[in-house]
């Protein structure tokens, strides 16, 4: 058991975050988890997980979270797993600036704020692991996912630069890039699509009908979709390996996408991707 190891993990109300929080607890970590709804935090507490409120779009909640966690640990933290996010669907030409701005507020700026508050703690310790749950869409583009893909591309660039800047500090940064994983990210994204995208008056209306059907059924049904345990396997390596990788690509479709990006000419790659989704 490694109960002296501490980790802060965000977005743990369901899906990847919930699975990883419970698995980390079973593996002996002291887990500090976040969720917005009180009932989700109560569920986590009953499982022996210390739960806190966090909304990445509320800087004051980020500051309060860090203060509360560090008070409980005596000022130390071994690992941070940034996971909480949402996916704004819709064609780029239909995307209001406010929708794109809020996507970045949650998926990029909030993650940066939390990470920036944790790095000095880890510098004082001379060690730490920071893992970001990115997406295969942070590496390759898919139509109707422009806002989400842009936020993940930004995350990749920002955190890979920080990874280089932390070289030799004892702090390691890794990015997990999942493809299709069983989670609620599709259904959770539906209200944001309906709020911001005028799908009835869009030139993409016909395509949106299929998109809406998939969102309402919880995402694409595929034999290649894996459970959140697939992400946890990579997270464990990133947290415990003496040489954690910069990138962990998860699921067969994601690995195929990375391989095609490496092998195909750009025009051919983008033509292929335009027929997906």
Per-state percent for the chain, helix, strand, coil, to nearest 5: 55, 15, 30
Residues 6+ apart with CB under 8 A from 86: 103, 106, 107, 185, 188, 189, 192
Examine the residue annotation and report whether 148 is marked as an active-site residue of this protein: yes
Q: Are 83 and 34 in contact (CB under 8 A)?
A: no
Separation between Cα atoms, residue 128 and residue 50, nearest integer Å: 20
CA 89 to chain centre: 16
Q: Are 13 and 40 in contact (CB under 8 A)?
A: yes
Separation between Cα atoms, residue 179 and residue 252, nearest integer Å: 8
Indicate the pairing of strand 50-52 with strand 79-82: unpaired
Catalytic residue among 148, 196, 208, 232: 148
Q: Are 151 and 108 in contact (CB under 8 A)?
A: yes
Separation between Cα atoms, residue 189 and residue 142, nearest integer Å: 16
Residues 6+ apart with CB under 8 A from 256: none
CA 156 to chain centre: 11
- What residues are labeled active site? 148
């Amino acid at each position: 058991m490694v109960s002296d190891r501490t980790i802060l993990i965000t977005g743990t109300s369901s899906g990847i975050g919930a699975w990883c929080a419970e698995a980390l607890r079973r593996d002996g970590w002291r887990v500090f988890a976040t969720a917005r709804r009180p009932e989700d935090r109560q569920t986590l507490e009953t499982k022996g997980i210390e739960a806190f409120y966090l909304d990445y779009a509320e800087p004051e909640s980020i500051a309060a979270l860090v203060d509360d966690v560090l008070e409980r640990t005596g000022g130390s933290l071994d690992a941070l797993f940034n996971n909480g996010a949402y996916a704004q669907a819709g064609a780029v030409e239909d995307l209001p600036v406010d929708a794109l701005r809020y996507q970045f507020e949650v998926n990029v700026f909030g993650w940066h704020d939390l990470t920036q508050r944790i790095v000095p703690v880890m510098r004082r310790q001379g060690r730490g692991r920071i893992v970001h749950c990115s997406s295969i869409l942070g590496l390759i583009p898919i139509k109707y996912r422009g806002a989400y893909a842009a936020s993940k591309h930004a995350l990749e660039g920002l955190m890979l630069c920080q990874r280089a800047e932390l070289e030799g500090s004892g702090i390691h940064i890794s990015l997990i890039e999942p493809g299709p994983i069983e989670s609620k990210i599709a259904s959770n994204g539906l209200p944001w699509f309906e709020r911001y995208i005028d799908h009835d008056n869009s030139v993409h209306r016909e395509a949106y009908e299929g998109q809406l059907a998939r969102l309402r059924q919880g995402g694409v049904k595929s034999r290649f979709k894996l459970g959140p345990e697939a992400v946890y396997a990579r997270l464990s390596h990133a947290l415990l390996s003496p040489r954690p990788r910069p990138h962990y690509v998860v699921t067969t479709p994601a690995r195929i996408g990375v391989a095609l990006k490496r092998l195909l000419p750009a025009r051919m790659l983008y033509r292929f991707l335009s027929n997906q989704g």
